Chain A
Amino acid sequence: MDDDVLTTLKILIIGESGVGKSSLLLRFTDDTFDPEIAATIGVDFKVKTLTVDGNKAKLAIWDTAGQERFRTLTPSYYRGAQGVILVYDVSSRNSFNRLEQWLSELETFSTKQDIVKMLVGNKIDKDKKEVDRNEGLKFARKHQMLFIEASAKTREGVQCAFEELVEKIIQTPGLWESDSQPKGVSLTDTGSAAVNSCAGYCSLV
């Protein structure tokens, strides 16, 4: 491993089946597009190092299968993720309508409290558009998410989405630092300051 890597981040990609999760990931990691990428079984995994604002972060990205039946299995992998990319297909209203369920599942299974969430509307290269950009924006605002529209095919917005997400994670305190050093005020320290020589509490007897 590189020594200058600031941290390793775990990132999840979730969303309905066939919205292009694996394609987004492939575009991001290998900068290629394969229209015939097989449907993911269970979870898949890719690694990429990314430099954001001079901070080098190693990303371990977990790509999940979107099929209903796999959902008994995949949520176990949500544990410990610092960021999540929730994908829908702008040409499929249905994939957008299911977002709420994905979020509630995430809520149930993620272990980090302030996990950074990003909503990605994929496949904007398609002519047929069933979900308007504004709807995506509205949904993202409602759920405090980052939002971007992208196309894995034309590469539009893909790199940007990942960078934005990582930047946000790094800016979120307590999300990725190792929590070995306790911060904040210690209870027991409060009393001791006053004890030097005679300056403090000094009673008659």
Chain B
Amino acid sequence: MLVTSDLQPELSQSSVRTTMAEGGEEESEVFEITDFTTASEWERFVARIEEVINEWKLANLAPGPPLLKGELSTGEWEDRSEVVTFADVRFGMTLHRLKEKQQVQTPGDMEEEDCQPQAIQDLLAMENDFPPRAHCLCRWFGVRSFVVLAPGGHSDSIQSESKASLLLSSISIAVNNTGCSVPVFVQTQQKWRRMYQGVCEGGGLRTNYDMVHLKRIPPQYDHLAGLLDVFKSKIACPLPALPPVTVSVRFTYILSDWTQSAWTQEPPDFDIPYGGNVGGAEFGKLPFGALEDPVSELHLSTTWPCLSEEMIVDNSVYSDLDPLQAPQWSVRVRMTDNPQCLLGDYLSEFVKICHSLESTDQLLGGLVLDDDDKDPSRDVSAALQRLTEPSPLPLPTISDVVSNMKTRTKFRRKEAPIGGELLNMILQFLFPDAALEGFPRAEKPSTEQGGEKQDTAEYKETYRQYKSSPEGSLVYQLALCMCVVNSNHGGLRAVAHLWQEFVLEMRYRWENNYSIPGLPEGSPDMSACLLLQKLQMLNCCIQRKTAREARMKEAANQQASAAAAVQDKPARGSTSAGSDGWDVEDSDEEFFECETEMEMETEENIASNSDADSAQNNTLPKGKVASNSQPSNDRTNMHKSESAVSFKDTVTSQPEGRLKQCGDLCLLDSSEPLYIPITQEPGPMTEDMLEQHAEVLAKLGTSAEGAHLRARMQSACLLSDMEAFKAANPACKLEDFVRWYSPRDWIEEPLTDETGQRVLKGELSPRMRIPGNMWCEVWDSARPVPARKQKRLFDDTKEAEKVLHFLAALRPAQVALQLTPMLVHAAILRVEEEGETSPPALATMLAQIQARASKVLRAPNMDAQKCEDLMELVRQVTLVETVIARARSLRAKFNTEKARSDDGAQELERFVSSLLEQPEVKVIGAGRGPAGTVIHKLFATAQKAAHSFDDDDHSPSEHRAELDSCPDFPRPAGREYILRTTVPRPCPVSRPCPQRMFCTLIKEDFRLAGAFTSDTTFM
């Protein structure tokens, strides 16, 4: 602390003065008579300050060019800081400097002694009065570069005057010793009071900066007249008549009561779903907008930039300063801090639940009834009850209710997080096909939702970018519903509930062959989210199952009719060969579908039929049948291959499962054309399956055995194709297959045969001829079986169960996490939609969000970091939402749509957008321009409301009278005055020096900041 130095404050002060008055040669002597105990510390302190000043090259700076208008605010500032210590007290020494646009002259160029420092010259410059955005010292003293010495610690402050004086004298010495031409300030008192004292010297002038700060405005200084008195008395002009004082004035008015244009944000549809009178479409949209007015206050500053003191009167009884007459108006708006925004809230609540650990059972445990004690009669009664319930919805059809019954009555309805009514609405929204007339609700193009938009490449790109799912698809809609349900209907429990219902619906659809609506057709789209892939997979399963069952039914029908036909005409025998062929085939169909025990049975059928078949079938060469029918006695160990043999016996010498001819190719060993068979489609895969599969393949390693095993694992498809090929081309061999399947492995060379004719001689490529290669191996084991009779490559039952298990096993938090891509996608679309007319700055913000979203959502891992990233993303979305809400609020307040003329409207629009982007906006035309008119009206209305005038008497005369009795503007919340003059000081023969005083008059803050200059030459 400064205890020791406090002992001799007066002494040190006077000694400094002596130094300056008496000149350099006596300096050492002065130090000798200063306080011995503190000298060294102080000396070091001063020396350190000098060092820093020199380091920053602040000495003998040439003045720069005059500042442009507003440059103090718009220019770029640079700061530099150093720590200096006085004994053990730390001070921060900071240089604030406006970067100059032009190249600065080096100090060496300016040798002139009497050149006035920049800061002193700037005292009179008026271009930068009342900067909208600047350091307070800049505002008060008009300085463009300055050094501040402030106590380092937050608790330290220079409270006592003696300490302040000591510091001030320290900097005086330092400034003098170094020739520093930049003002140096010391911050005193508590930091919040922003009290500064300082000094600037150079060119034979010295400016002292001083300050008065009071909590109340003294009545005698509550106007210009009083302030002029202070100013003049401080100057203590030695001349008989003081030159006129120039005055700049700014009054600031605050508007916080937006009576006329109250915040008009529609409250969100919190209650609507409860009311049940709005269709489910409400779930398809995320809410948007701020709940409170995001614009809290409007500050209007009216400025009189340059007045002579004689021209205006402003005293305790009268003022010329009418805001409407002010030549300059400028406006700034104060925004509400973090207004509550719907979209942001919904999103963040949803992302939050991604962290939770509860399982569905934990959340809904008490509510779920056991499947076992489910009493069908009660279910039906519930269904009836639902039917008879008064409902504002179109009355559901019986079939609808009954179909719902199976899946949706697991909860005791009162305890469920989502009420029955609401749940029905959500489910109908998600599965609109369920509510359609004509109950069999599948058979509807599943891409119908989402509409034409799906075609455009750009549209497709959007969801790929976020790895979400197409807009309007089931998964997308589910995400929206989940989000709404989470925010409005019970949080995580509701999410768990809806998810459970969703999974039940999925199972119901699987079991009853109703395809799932709202999904892109085809195999899982790996550029979309996993959940969509899973559902697409389920849809594939449902479609295959449906097709399979339809085939089976048809076959059964045919079989039945065929059997009837056979019974009707048992005597026809060999003449009905064709229908018999069908007959056998049908029983094969059954064999294909059935499990093993059936398989045995059918085989026996086939075997027993085989004689009759061969007898009836004229096309079969008899010898072949006879030779091949032998192995059927020995069917114990490998009934598969054996069944193949029996196929060969009975059926397949008839070509089967042909798709089309393969060009004009013919089989090598016969003149039969080569047919491409109908083949099995390989099973669709979702990305996680693929990953597992790839992992398994990779795990086999890189050895030859590994490679062989890998090939074998993947040969199922090849085998299936070979079998189908054999079935379609009964007389084929491997060469034929290769010609279709891998044409480049069939090498043809033109040869000239013995008759001199050129013929093409073909052979298998060397790699196909390697003995025992996988292709030959598979070919040899392939039986001629058409695709539809083969073992399924894709087991839809198993895959569907896997998907359903995956869905059911997701914890609600995982569900939420799986759904976030869609939600973020939707939120971004929503913001884009809402932000169409918003300020251009928004475009860059949006682009940033999109880039970030794309990165976060495509990142493969779902860990804590991802949740962080998601939260950050949500914060950014909220920010954009707030900006849009602000723009809206301002537009509504300034009524941009209803402006009388086009020009006015444009003008207002421009004004509003600059309000959003700039700290302070000039009002063009001040009180008479279009914006000024609106602002005037806003204030007047607020005033009227404040004075509780009746709104209904609006006759022009009365209105006028009203206006007269009640001023349109309230008392200014803040008044600022800048007083300036040039006066010779300290004596009449001194050079005229610039003087300036800045006055701030706010309700609880009265500040005078004076910069008084005197000539030091003849002091």
A-B contact pairs, 16 of them (CB 8 A): A17-B745, A38-B711, A38-B773, A42-B710, A42-B713, A45-B707, A45-B710, A67-B742, A70-B717, A73-B717, A179-B859, A182-B856, A198-B194, A199-B79, A203-B299, A204-B301
Interface: B430 (CB within 8 A): no
Q: Are A182's CB and B681's CB within 8 A?
A: no
- Minimum Cβ distance to chain B for residue A126 (Å): 14
Query: What residues of chain A have their CB less than 8 Å away from a CB belonging to chain B?
Result: 16-18, 29, 35-47, 60, 66-70, 72-73, 76-77, 79, 92, 94-95, 109, 111, 179-180, 182, 184-188, 198-205
User: Does B527 make an interface contact (CB < 8 A)?
Assistant: yes
Does B855 make an interface contact (CB < 8 A)? Answer: yes
Digitize B174-197: 1 where CB-to-A-CB distance is under 8 Å, 0 elsewhere: 000000000000000000001000
Q: Of residues A29, A70, A95, which shows the largest number of chain B Cβ atoms within 10 Å of its Cβ?
A: A70
Q: Is the CB of B698 within 8 A of A204?
A: no
A44 touches B710 (CB 8 A): yes
B717 close to A42 (CB less than 8 A):
yes
Q: Are A38 and B774 neighbours in the complex by a CB distance under 8 Å? A: yes
* Number of residues from B at the complex interface, CB < 8 A: 70
User: Which residues B713-737 have CB closer than 8 A to chain A?
Assistant: 713-715, 717-718, 721
Q: Which residue of B lies closest to A174 (CB)?
A: B855
Contact A67 B702 (CB under 8 A): no
The 3 closest A-B pairs by CB, nearest first: A42-B714, A18-B744, A41-B711
The distance in angstroms between the C-alpha atoms of A121 and B721, with both chains bound, is 31
Whole-angstrom distance between the alpha carbons of A111 and B529 in the complex?
Answer: 13
Residues of B within 8 A of A18 (CB): 742, 744-745, 765, 767
Q: Is B211 an interface residue (CB 8 A)?
A: no
A204: contacting residue among B135, B697, B852, B976, CB under 8 A: B976
Q: What 9 new A-B contacts, CB under 8 Å, besides A72-B681, A179-B859, A204-B1002?
A: A38-B711, A39-B774, A41-B714, A42-B715, A76-B526, A77-B694, A180-B865, A186-B872, A199-B79
B244-277 interface bits toward A, Cβ cutoff 8 Å, 1 = contact, 0 = none: 0000000010100000000000000000000000
Rounded to whole angstroms, the CA-CA distance of A199 and B148 in the bound complex is: 11
Task: Give the complex CA separation of A66 and B767 in angstroms.
Answer: 14
Residue-wise, chain B 39-80 has the 8 Å CB interface mask toward A (1 for contact) of 000000000000000000000000000000000000001010
Please classify the interface of chain A as helix (H, G, I), strand (E, B), loop, or mixed, using the class held by over half of its residues. loop
Q: Which residues of A are found within 8 Å of B744, using beta-carbon distances?
A: 16-18, 66, 92, 94-95
Which of A29, A45, A199, A204 has the most C-beta atoms of chain B within 10 angstroms of its own C-beta?
A204
Q: CB distance B919 to A201 under 8 Å?
A: yes
Q: Which of A40, A44, A68 has the most CB of B within 10 A?
A: A44
Q: With the chains together, A140 CA to B742 CA distance in Å?
A: 26
Which segment of B1-9, B482-490, B682-690 sits at the interface? B682-690
Q: Which of B774, B775, B876, B973 contacts A188 (CB 8 A)?
A: B876
- Give residues 648-671 of B contacting A (CB, 8 Å): none
Q: Contact at A37–B690, with CB atoms within 8 Å?
A: no
- Which residues of B, 857-885, contact A by the 8 Å Cβ criterion? 859, 865, 869, 872, 875-876, 879
What's the minimum C-beta distance from B650 to chain A, rounded to whole angstroms? Answer: 29
Query: In the complex, are the beta carbons of A187 and B773 less than 8 A apart?
Result: no
Q: B835: shortest Cβ distance to chain A, in Å?
A: 14
Closest to B254 in A: A205
Given A38-B770, A73-B682, A188 contacting B875 (CB threshold 8 A): yes
Contact with A along B781-824 (1 / 0, CB 8 A): 00000000000000000000000000000000000000000000
Q: Which of B136, B697, B849, B875 contacts A45 (CB 8 A)?
A: B697
Does the CB pair B136–A198 fall under 8 Å?
yes
Which A residues are in CB contact (< 8 Å) with B742? 17-18, 39, 67
Q: Do the beta carbons of A44 and B711 come within 8 Å of each other? A: yes
Q: Kindly list chain A residues whose C-beta atoms are within 8 Å of the C-beta of B116.
A: none
Known: A187-B845, A204-B1002. A39 touches B767 (CB 8 A): yes
Shortest Cβ gap from A37 to chain B (Å): 6
Which of A40, A77, A188, A205 counts the most chain B CB atoms within 10 A?
A: A205
Q: Which residues of B contact A187 (CB under 8 A)?
A: 845, 848-849, 876, 879
CA distance A64 to B510 in the complex (A): 35
Check: B970 CB closer than 8 A to any chain A CB.
Answer: no
User: Does B944 sit within 8 A of A, measured CB to CB?
Assistant: no
> Known contacts A38-B775, A41-B718, A188-B879: does B766 contact A182 (CB below 8 Å)?
no
Closest chain A CB from B561 CB (angstroms): 37
Complex CA distance for A25 and B801, rounded to whole angstroms = 39
Known contacts A72-B681, A180-B859, A205-B254: does B702 contact A45 (CB below 8 Å)?
A: yes
Query: Chain B residues with Cβ under 8 A from A44's Cβ?
Result: 707, 710-711
Tell me, rounded to whole Å, the shortest Cβ–Cβ distance linking B688 to chain A. Answer: 11
Q: Which residues of B contact A42 (CB under 8 A)?
A: 710-711, 713-715, 717
A residues less than 8 Å from B685 (CB atoms): 76
Separation in Å of the B325 CB from the closest CB of chain A?
21
Checking A38, A69, A182 against B721 with a beta-carbon cut-off of 8 angstroms, the contacting residue is A69
Any A CB within 8 A of the CB of B321: no
Cα separation A29 to B139 with both chains bound (whole Å): 73
Q: Contacting B133 at CB < 8 Å: which of A40, A94, A201?
A: A201
B1000 on the A face (CB < 8 A):
yes
Instruction: Tell me how far the C-beta of A192 lies from the nearest C-beta in chain B, rounded to whole angstroms.
Output: 13
CB of A71, distance to nearest CB on chain B (Å)? 10
Produce 1/0 per residue, B476-515, CB < 8 A to A: 0000000000000000000000000000000000000000
A91 to B: closest C-beta gap in Å: 11
- Provide the residues of chain A in CB contact with B194, threshold 8 Å: 198
In the docked arrangement, what's the CA distance between A200 and B768, Å?
79
Cβ contact within 8 Å between A79 and B852: no
Contact yes or no, B526 A79, CB < 8 A: yes
Q: Does B592 contact A (CB under 8 A)?
A: no
A187 to B865, CA, bound (A): 18
B883: shortest Cβ distance to chain A, in Å? 10
**When chains A and B are docked, how far (Å) is the Cα of A179 from the Cα of B848?**
16
Q: Quick check: is B96 within 8 A (CB to CB) of the other chain?
A: yes
Cross-chain contact A204 with B767 (CB below 8 angstroms): no
**Taking the complex as formed, is B974 at the interface, i.e. its CB lies under 8 A from any CB of chain A?**
yes
Residue from the set B96, B679, B682, B721 with the largest chain A CB neighbour count within 10 Å: B682
Is there an interface contact between B133 and A200, defined as CB atoms closer than 8 Å? Answer: yes
Query: How far apart are the CA atoms of A36 and B772 in the complex, in Å?
Result: 12
Residues of A within 8 A of B707 (CB): 44-45
Say whether A202 contacts B136, CB under 8 Å: yes
Question: With A and B bound together, what is the CA distance between A185 and B690 in angstroms?
Answer: 36
Chain B neighbourhood of A77, CB < 8 A: 690, 694
Contact of B714 with A46 in the complex, beta carbons under 8 Å = no
Measured CB to CB, the closest approach of chain A to B302, in angstroms, equals 13
Chain A residues, CB < 8 A from B698? 45, 60
Q: Are A205 and B136 in contact (CB under 8 A)?
A: no
Closest residue of chain B to A204, judged by CB? B974
Distance between B50 CB and nearest chain A CB, rounded to angstroms: 24
Chain B 731-790 interface residues, beta-carbon cutoff 8 Å to A = 741-742, 744-745, 765-768, 770, 773-775
Chain A CB within 8 A of B134 CB = yes
B342 CB to closest chain A CB, in angstroms? 20
Cβ–Cβ < 8 Å partners of B715 in chain A: 41-42
Report A36 CB to chain B, min CB distance, Å.
Answer: 5
B 191-222 to A, binary, CB cutoff 8 A, 1 in contact else 0:
00010000000000000000000000000000
In the complex, the answer to whether B767 meets A36 with C-beta atoms within 8 Å is yes
Q: Evaluate whether A202 and B135 lie within 8 angstroms (CB atoms) in the complex, with A35-B766, A111-B526 already known.
A: yes
CB contact between A205 and one of B135, B682, B848, B973 (< 8 Å): that residue: B973
* Residues of chain A within 8 A of B1000, CB atoms compared: 204
Partner of A202, one of B77, B133, B681, B711: B133
Mask, B687-704, CB within 8 Å of A = 1, is: 100100010011010100
